[in-house]
Structure 1
């Protein structure tokens, strides 16, 4: 096994310096007989404690267990751990936004330029920003009347980019449910609802001859994109007492989410590319003050939107967007499919029961 996601030289340097953000877009695997997984878990890695085998795909192991993000296992079996740094916030607003802008530009320099990368595009600031950084066609997935399809068309027109619409049908969604649930190893309604549109757009991208799909993953967690972050400390869904603390809390959810997304995309035959999860962008996000995560008017991802003006028109940079499972109408149609299969809303977690019935 070799290391995925980064040059072994960079990983060796990270091991030597104990640097959790050594300038990569994540890594996992083996270097010089030592196993590593980056601090955000951007590349999945699994082990089998009974056989001491390791794999990137849990399906290759009899009893797969997740290697936790930030893990470094030395050649003699000692386990060490990377953790995200806790830098003080940059108090100068202009300097903080400039740092985000420069980090995005630095990330863009590391992207593949062989013409084999497409872009998952929904018209929001995250995917639109990625579309300006990646030299590849844009694809949006959703039901014909969905918010994501209409918003992607407006944004594509404003940005003058080519857009392919991957229109969904209930039959196509139903057929993909067991494949996606098995690939991600989860059956709960939320995870399946998020993974399905990613898988279905990736399936089309792969059929069109592309090897990679560029995604905007990580922006909401890094830059304060969640309503529960904006409402901290009054929202019971977060424990933090500040917006900045709540955003840090959300960063802690990234490993679980990224594992789902990577496994789903790989099941469709493509590798993910996530420019907004580069170490330089993560470092810049960690240094943002609370008012540049959520401003006094409640606008979320403020610093990212301001930085994005370097590449995007304001109509796109400041456009609000729904989460993919809702914007694509996948969540609505999963609910409908579950009820048609006899799983009524009065039943406990009826969509999850429907997914499990399809396996």
Structure 2
């Protein structure tokens, strides 16, 4: 079992508790059942023909993921849902304080002891670096740990500028390490990342590339874990399609809370991509902002504490003010594939290879060609 003890998981099954106080878990219970937490924050695959299972699909000829929130009987292959993500009513009572307390629990450091959940997942300590793009998500994580901060980007990208400004504002400028990418770096990583995540579509590859490249630089410097701000956008209303609900065609919901709920359904798929990309570089991801306590606090937020006016992730930004300077809490950022300029450079590589924009999904075709060659 990865991420929690078997005892914790068994108790969560008995109590039908989808959020038992962990950072996520997956693996085999003593009775031979496979299990994966409700948000898919850990990975678990099974080969239905042989019955073999693993945390990584490599080596399983017919690997299928155990669905998030499900239990699978290894012997029979029977799979059933064990948990559903809670859908509590909006609670406007002290929303900032609730989020702040949840962050404190997820990120807490007691003196020099590493912060852990009930089963020992460290979010601080030796061997840890932080993927830091200068936005509130990664800055909240960085605020809790004494660790180097890594930002990756091409040329004069927005992410490097944001990281430099935020690190300076936090008094952490000396901790920041800029990983300046070349076009050759991006080109060489494309097939590696596509193989690692098991996907070739343009969006997934472009998102995974900067994660892989920053993790690769962290591994090269001798660190074996990377702390990430993953999940904050999904939990706290960071996407434009959530902020624009119900007027955005990308969501069906007619409220901000409903749109956030739709986005959360995509989190297991996104985390699978991100975790596989980071692990392919040789480091272990640490994702404290998807701790069960943070998830529980976020789920009960009213819509106007997710998005208010032009401010997305309102509750998270307000809760972070006791940790971060206002300029960091208020910083707006592009998605990592755009802020790092990696998406632009992959598009450039595709066109240079003869896959013109007039072709349908030209970047995906380019990625597929790299795997074939």
Which bracket does the TM-score occupy, shorter chain normalised? Answer: over 0.9
Identify which of 350, 354, 358 aligns with 1:342: 354
State the secondary structure of the residue aligned to 1:358: helix
Distance in structure 2 (CA, Å) of the matches to 1:271 and 1:264: 10
Match of 2:17 in 1: 19
Distance in structure 1 (CA, Å) of the matches to 2:102 and 2:268: 21
State the secondary structure of the residue aligned to 1:60: coil
State the secondary structure of the residue aligned to 2:345: helix
Distance in structure 1 (CA, Å) of the matches to 2:64 and 2:277: 18
Verify the 8 A CA contact 2:66 2:72 in the aligned structure 1: no
Confirm whether residue 356 of structure 1 aligns to residue 368 of structure 2.
Answer: yes
Alignment of 1:318-337 (within 5 A): 318-337=330-349
Distance in structure 1 (CA, Å) of the matches to 2:74 and 2:337: 42
Verify the 8 A CA contact 1:181 1:187 in the aligned structure 2: yes
Match of 1:206 in 2: 219
Confirm whether residue 231 of structure 1 aligns to residue 231 of structure 2.
Answer: no
- Cα deviation 1:198-224 (Å, max 9, x = unaligned): 000000101111111100000000000
Distance in structure 1 (CA, Å) of the matches to 2:322 and 2:59: 44
Match of 1:125 in 2: 136
Distance in structure 1 (CA, Å) of the matches to 2:125 and 2:249: 46
Match of 1:258 in 2: 271
Match of 2:112 in 1: none
Match of 2:164 in 1: 153
- Cα deviation 1:220-267 (Å, max 9, x = unaligned): 000000001011011010011100000011111100000000000110
Point out where structure 1 has 5 or more consecutive residues left out of the alignment.
none
Distance 1:76 1:179, change over 3 A: closer
Match of 2:119 in 1: none
Match of 1:283 in 2: 296
Distance in structure 2 (CA, Å) of the matches to 1:246 and 1:85: 15
Verify the 8 A CA contact 1:115 1:135 in the aligned structure 2: no
Distance in structure 2 (CA, Å) of the matches to 1:344 and 1:113: 46
Verify the 8 A CA contact 1:199 1:265 in the aligned structure 2: yes
Match of 1:294 in 2: 307
Identify which of 194, 209, 233 aligns with 1:220: 233
Normalised by the length of structure 1, the TM-score is: 0.97
Aligned residue pairs, count: 354
Identify which of 124, 128, 131 aligns with 1:113: 124
Verify the 8 A CA contact 2:232 2:238 in the aligned structure 1: yes
Confirm whether residue 171 of structure 1 aligns to residue 184 of structure 2.
Answer: yes
Identify which of 137, 141, 159 aligns with 2:148: 137
State the secondary structure of the residue aligned to 1:233: coil
The list of structure 1 runs, each at least 4 consecutive aligned residues, that deviate by more than 2 angstroms after superposition, is 73-80, 109-114
Shift in Å, 1:310: 1.3
Verify the 8 A CA contact 2:51 2:74 in the aligned structure 1: no
Match of 1:91 in 2: 92
RMSD value, Cα: 1.1
Distance in structure 2 (CA, Å) of the matches to 1:281 and 1:294: 17
Shift in Å, 1:327: 0.1
State the secondary structure of the residue aligned to 1:36: strand
Match of 2:111 in 1: none
Distance in structure 2 (CA, Å) of the matches to 1:69 and 1:272: 18
State the secondary structure of the residue aligned to 1:62: coil
Match of 1:310 in 2: 322
State the secondary structure of the residue aligned to 2:307: coil
Point out where structure 2 has 5 or more consecutive residues left out of the alignment.
109-115, 117-121
Verify the 8 A CA contact 1:117 1:211 in the aligned structure 2: yes
- Cα deviation 1:265-324 (Å, max 9, x = unaligned): 1100011111110000000000000000001x2210000000010100000001000000
Shift in Å, 1:113: 3.2
